[in-house]
A and B are shown apart, each in its own frame.
Chain A
Amino acid sequence: MTGRVSLAAVPFLSARPLTYGIEHGLAEDHFDLVYDSPEGCAGRVSRGEAQLALLPSVRYRHLALDRGLDLRVVPHLAAVVHDALPPEVDGEYDLGALVGGVLGGVDAWRERTGLPFVSLLWVGRNGAVGLEVANQLAHSLRQGLAHLRDIATAFAQVHGGDPAHHERLLAHCLGYGLGSEELSGLDAFFDHLHLAEAPSSRSPVPARIRLFDFAFALGSEKPEPVPAAGTKGAMPGVDALLSDAAAGKRLSPAECIRLYESAPLLDLGRAADERRRFLHPRNRVTYIIDRNVNYTNLCLTACKFCNFFRPAKSKEAYTLSREVLAQKFSETVAMGGIQILLQGGVNPQLRLDYYEDLFRWTKANFPLALHALSPEEVSFIAKQEGLPIREVLERLIAAGLDSLPGGGAEILDDEIRHRISPLKCNTETWIEVMREAHGLGLRTTATLVFGFGETAGHITRHLERLRALQDQTAGFTAFICWPFQAEGTRLRLGDDTTAQRYLRVFSLARLYLDNFPNLQVSWPTMGPAIGQVALRFGGNDFGSAMIEENVVSQAGAVFKLSAEDIERRVRAAGFVPRQRNMRYELLPIRGGAISVRHDGAGRGAAHPILAGA
């Protein structure tokens, strides 16, 4: 390390284990440490007086949003509140100011989101410190965790209070770490604060944690070297690429193509599994209970790969009536479903007000989240109404839209799109709808359908578009891919859609999409066996215990699984199943049906974070 490093830290009890080693002689020639208030610490970092400051997470958000600084966070080192703090010491943590008034305290937060609440972060400007400083800080924390009693005693001498009480607090209510769940917790916290602000005064995108660039060198074990087998020896570079990608190094498009074409299946799978373990270290696999409702099958887009749509003149064209929808929605609630995945054809008889009415009616009558309308539908409504996409989304959000499904992406490459779905929105429009949606605070998924004769280059370009947008917006929650289902469609199956190819594309996506938190397996198309196996090829989500599905089942894929069956399969693969909502927040574990409060007031209504706000 060259030169001295100035550190600032808030003087709270929870900060002390992080600073203990530094205060007790660790690299004393290198660090200057001052304690200051949250405002003081924030000021020191933004003025450049401190290279790093140990700050409340909410201050990080202020700095990142208000001052537009390129701030970064040190990975793995953060204070996390696990349990409720007694009121007499709550103030020490700034929690009253942080969360108390809005969220109803840490217990309520845990119950609503299932995610940890991260209170303190080491924050600095991009490039301010390197890996060596982070290692010293990690060492400081390790020493602190070994001296909790000393910390408690020293703290009581200066600030008063019962040392035994302080020690209990340190040992039982607080934790230290910043892994993927903590990062998801911060995302959820920032989303919450974002949505609580008036639309006119809030920033276009919610704040996000950005880690120092050395982040990925820490904490992930390299996979065991794999002995050369078969033809592998003839492909130098693949092993190195895979172990780097498994450790979190970003793959370039050229490297992606190389891996797609040359990496052996199980080597790809292992690297993806390694990466999944780093991102989801608690071995959880999530799933959701929702219902896929296709409100209309009348569609002008007429994609060649679709066996679901009917042209306007067809006798089989339908638009579901309110009575039918009410029936389906009530059944969904009765079966424990928390969401409707609402997608249809592109039906010119339905205008924006149809959707607004439908969403308001849904929200007024059912405790269900609306994961509705793919980019193709949104862009069609915008075109039909002559309105900007943003305005359409704003009106739909006001009517109750919660999130967008990522369907209709197929292959995001206009060469392929023009061949298989010439009338569908092009790549640019699909991306644009997602960008606008993320900007308005909607979370969305992203999909890929392969088997249209696309090359490794097409697949890579698709993944690259998604990754680039995610870098800008961080709005995608999950990625899902599946093979084209050909039965009854006008497109001949002219490509490989076997399990082998699915597992290749899937594990490669886990490695390439390093900024996507979740990868969902596609059991409805691949069958439960391969769906489950894909959990060992990078997947961490089993998708939906679907109460209904009409599109791929029309083209030959007919599998059904109940929540119990999903849980059994998840356990048999060595994971712990948990139910989630669309935002991948864990739902409390409970025996009966899931109930989500709603007040019919629009977008936030069924959102568990806001439900009690």
Chain B
Amino acid sequence: MAFLEIKDKVRAGEPLGFEDGVALFQHPNLLDLGQLANEVRERMHGQRTYFNRNMHINATNVCVASCRFCSFARLKPGDLGAYTLSLEEAWGRLRARVQAKDPITEIHIVNGLHDGLPFSYYTELLAGLKRICPTVHLKAFTAVEIFFFHQHYGMPVEEVLTRLRAAGLDSLPGGGAEIFAPRVRRKLCADKSDAAEWLDVHRTAHQMGLRSNCTMLYGHIETIEERVEHLLRLRALQDETGGFQTFIPLAFHADGNAMQRLAPPTGVEDLRTFAVSRLLLHNIPHLKAYWVMLGLKTAQTAQWFGADDLDGTVQEERIYHMAGAETPQHLGVPDIVHLIEQAGRVPVERDTLYNVLAEGSDLVSSKPFRRSLPQVAGALS
């Protein structure tokens, strides 16, 4: 399929097919892809680039799954580096932010699959957070965790979701999708939920009126065809439910896990993946350049390759940092605003559901430049 024909399809608003996707991943001219993805991005979002004020809580890294790409999990309680936060500790993190008058709007909660905790640990965790800050949006538990709860606690997925929702759950993050192809899952993460199970959890959540995100972990052993197939399966579910808000491509980071021999994807491959994702996923509104993973420089550049979101202020990210990410663990709003403005885009602070909270000149940029930006050596990577 020639690039020009694909371009015509995109301009005519026709969905792209499997072969189109493969051809785009193989198209030699990166800037062709970038310009076409940017056209779509500007058609959907104009000059806006979104971010939010959020914090991460990773309540435990104890995990029964043994994914080979993970540097975060410690398999058993008591293993070196294994931790499980007490509810008081987890709540304390939010209290500290509230006391610091930090107006966060979202908590992102993702954990290991701990087989020694009662289900009430999770419901109380959510309920307690809501007690401290009733307006905060709780985006918690990947589909893999939800499916684990279903198996481990012997409840249907719908009941798991209903009980978590009653405790305060607002939406699901998009993690755990990795690559859907069974060949890859057998090699990377044989003991966690498969593609159908992952998609089912999201389908159920969407049917209950919960929104969610979706992801793809790329740059390890997957083929281009497997990437395209993955994206098309996400697109098919979105056609069915319309419940995905944002797609987040996640580059594989190798430090400290079982796959250190693999070289990480390069900048050109990252930008290419963003552009192709924007073009294939015409029905998923947002594309997020997660700066913790990409580095600030590539995340900024991705705003011209289809992305319209940078994630948020992200306090205390642990998962990517344990895999060698050299980005800072936190960005101030002025720094994010500045980064977006220097990309030639209009910064928009959103909540989790993309309601606009502040836009453009309402937001204060860090001009004149604050010296806080390169806090960590290599922070601007």
**Across the interface, do A573 and B342 meet the contact criterion of CB distance under 8 Å?**
no
| Chain A nearest Cβ from B326, distance in angstroms | 9
* Distance, CA A313 to CA B245, complexed state (A): 61
The answer to whether A492 and B297 touch (CB under 8 A), given A529-B270, A532-B267, A536-B30, is no
**Across the interface, do B42 and A527 meet the contact criterion of CB distance under 8 Å?**
no
Most buried by A among B295, B301, B304, B374: B301
Query: Is B46 part of the binding interface, using a Cβ–Cβ cutoff of 8 Å?
Result: yes
Q: Which of chain A's residues has its CB closest to B301's CB? A: A499
Q: Which of chain B's residues has its CB closest to A503's CB? A: B301
| Chain A nearest Cβ from B141, distance in angstroms | 31
* Distance, CA A499 to CA B374, complexed state (A): 14
Query: Is B231 part of the binding interface, using a Cβ–Cβ cutoff of 8 Å?
Result: no
Query: Is A569 part of the binding interface, using a Cβ–Cβ cutoff of 8 Å?
Result: yes
Interface size on B, residues (CB 8 A): 40
The answer to whether A266 and B38 touch (CB under 8 A), given A493-B371, A532-B268, A572-B269, is yes
Query: Is B120 part of the binding interface, using a Cβ–Cβ cutoff of 8 Å?
Result: no
Please tell me which one of the listed residues A270, A496, A559, A569 contacts residue B31 in the complex, with CB atoms under 8 A apart: A270
| Chain A nearest Cβ from B60, distance in angstroms | 32
| Chain A nearest Cβ from B78, distance in angstroms | 36
Q: Which of chain B's residues has its CB closest to A564's CB? A: B263
Chain B residues lying within 8 Å of A557, measured Cβ to Cβ, are: 378
Query: Is A133 part of the binding interface, using a Cβ–Cβ cutoff of 8 Å?
Result: no
Chain A residues lying within 8 Å of B344, measured Cβ to Cβ, are: 264-265, 500
| Chain B nearest Cβ from A481, distance in angstroms | 15
Q: Which of chain A's residues has its CB closest to B263's CB? A: A568
Query: Is A526 part of the binding interface, using a Cβ–Cβ cutoff of 8 Å?
Result: yes
Query: Is A161 part of the binding interface, using a Cβ–Cβ cutoff of 8 Å?
Result: no
Query: Is A230 part of the binding interface, using a Cβ–Cβ cutoff of 8 Å?
Result: yes
Chain B residues lying within 8 Å of A556, measured Cβ to Cβ, are: 374, 377
| Chain A nearest Cβ from B25, distance in angstroms | 12
* Distance, CA A487 to CA B371, complexed state (A): 8
Query: Is A394 part of the binding interface, using a Cβ–Cβ cutoff of 8 Å?
Result: no
**Across the interface, do A493 and B378 meet the contact criterion of CB distance under 8 Å?**
no
* Distance, CA A267 to CA B42, complexed state (A): 15
**Across the interface, do A266 and B34 meet the contact criterion of CB distance under 8 Å?**
yes
The answer to whether A572 and B381 touch (CB under 8 A), given A526-B297, A530-B301, A533-B271, is no
Chain A residues lying within 8 Å of B377, measured Cβ to Cβ, are: 556, 558
* Distance, CA A559 to CA B377, complexed state (A): 10
Which A residues from 549 to 568 make CB contacts under 8 A with B?
556-559, 565, 568
Mark contacts of A524-555 with chain B using CB atoms, 8 A cut-off: 1 yes-contact digit, 0 otherwise.
00111111110111000000000000000000
**Across the interface, do A533 and B301 meet the contact criterion of CB distance under 8 Å?**
yes
**Across the interface, do B301 and A527 meet the contact criterion of CB distance under 8 Å?**
no
Query: Is A169 part of the binding interface, using a Cβ–Cβ cutoff of 8 Å?
Result: no
Chain A residues lying within 8 Å of B31, measured Cβ to Cβ, are: 266, 269-270, 273, 536-537
Q: Which of chain B's residues has its CB closest to A277's CB? A: B29
Which B residues from 246 to 274 make CB contacts under 8 A with A?
263, 265-271
Chain B residues lying within 8 Å of A157, measured Cβ to Cβ, are: none
Which B residues from 13 to 39 make CB contacts under 8 A with A?
28-31, 34-35, 38-39
| Chain B nearest Cβ from A275, distance in angstroms | 13
**Across the interface, do A527 and B380 meet the contact criterion of CB distance under 8 Å?**
yes
* Distance, CA A488 to CA B376, complexed state (A): 13
Please tell me which one of the listed residues A230, A494, A500, A531 contacts residue B300 in the complex, with CB atoms under 8 A apart: A500
Query: Is A353 part of the binding interface, using a Cβ–Cβ cutoff of 8 Å?
Result: no
The answer to whether A229 and B30 touch (CB under 8 A), given A499-B298, A526-B297, A533-B268, is no
| Chain B nearest Cβ from A501, distance in angstroms | 7
**Across the interface, do B339 and A498 meet the contact criterion of CB distance under 8 Å?**
yes
Please tell me which one of the listed residues A492, A532, A568 contacts residue B369 in the complex, with CB atoms under 8 A apart: A492
Query: Is A130 part of the binding interface, using a Cβ–Cβ cutoff of 8 Å?
Result: no
Chain A residues touching B, majority SS: helix
Query: Is B343 part of the binding interface, using a Cβ–Cβ cutoff of 8 Å?
Result: yes
Query: Is A495 part of the binding interface, using a Cβ–Cβ cutoff of 8 Å?
Result: yes
**Across the interface, do B381 and A529 meet the contact criterion of CB distance under 8 Å?**
yes
| Chain A nearest Cβ from B303, distance in angstroms | 8
* Distance, CA A532 to CA B374, complexed state (A): 21
**Across the interface, do A574 and B301 meet the contact criterion of CB distance under 8 Å?**
no
**Across the interface, do A496 and B342 meet the contact criterion of CB distance under 8 Å?**
yes
**Across the interface, do A499 and B369 meet the contact criterion of CB distance under 8 Å?**
no
The answer to whether A500 and B343 touch (CB under 8 A), given A230-B46, A529-B266, is yes
**Across the interface, do A568 and B266 meet the contact criterion of CB distance under 8 Å?**
yes
* Distance, CA A265 to CA B30, complexed state (A): 13
The answer to whether A492 and B46 touch (CB under 8 A), given A499-B297, A528-B266, A536-B31, is no
Query: Is A101 part of the binding interface, using a Cβ–Cβ cutoff of 8 Å?
Result: no
Query: Is B154 part of the binding interface, using a Cβ–Cβ cutoff of 8 Å?
Result: no
Query: Is B47 part of the binding interface, using a Cβ–Cβ cutoff of 8 Å?
Result: yes
**Across the interface, do A493 and B369 meet the contact criterion of CB distance under 8 Å?**
yes
| Chain A nearest Cβ from B296, distance in angstroms | 8
**Across the interface, do B301 and A500 meet the contact criterion of CB distance under 8 Å?**
yes
Please tell me which one of the listed residues A231, A266, A498, A527 contacts residue B35 in the complex, with CB atoms under 8 A apart: A266
Please tell me which one of the listed residues B297, B304, B378 contacts residue A530 in the complex, with CB atoms under 8 A apart: B297
Query: Is A486 part of the binding interface, using a Cβ–Cβ cutoff of 8 Å?
Result: yes
Please tell me which one of the listed residues B28, B266, B378 contacts residue A532 in the complex, with CB atoms under 8 A apart: B266
Q: Which of chain B's residues has its CB closest to A555's CB? A: B374
**Across the interface, do A536 and B268 meet the contact criterion of CB distance under 8 Å?**
yes
Mark contacts of B329-343 with chain A using CB atoms, 8 A cut-off: 1 yes-contact digit, 0 otherwise.
000000000010011
Q: 11 other contacts beyond A266-B31, A572-B265, with CB at 8 A cut-off?
A: A229-B35, A230-B42, A265-B344, A493-B371, A500-B304, A527-B267, A527-B381, A533-B298, A533-B301, A569-B266, A572-B269
Listed by A's residue number, 23 A-B pairs whose Cβ atoms lie within 8 Å are A231-B47, A266-B38, A486-B374, A492-B369, A492-B371, A496-B342, A503-B301, A527-B295, A527-B297, A527-B378, A528-B266, A529-B266, A529-B270, A529-B298, A530-B297, A531-B267, A532-B266, A533-B268, A533-B271, A559-B381, A565-B263, A568-B263, A573-B266
In the A-B complex, the 6 residue pairs with the smallest Cβ-Cβ separation, listed nearest first, are A529-B267, A499-B297, A527-B381, A572-B266, A498-B342, A573-B268
B residues with CB within 8 A of A:
11, 28-31, 34-35, 38-39, 42, 46-47, 263, 265-271, 294-298, 300-301, 304, 339, 342-344, 368-369, 371, 374, 377-378, 380-381
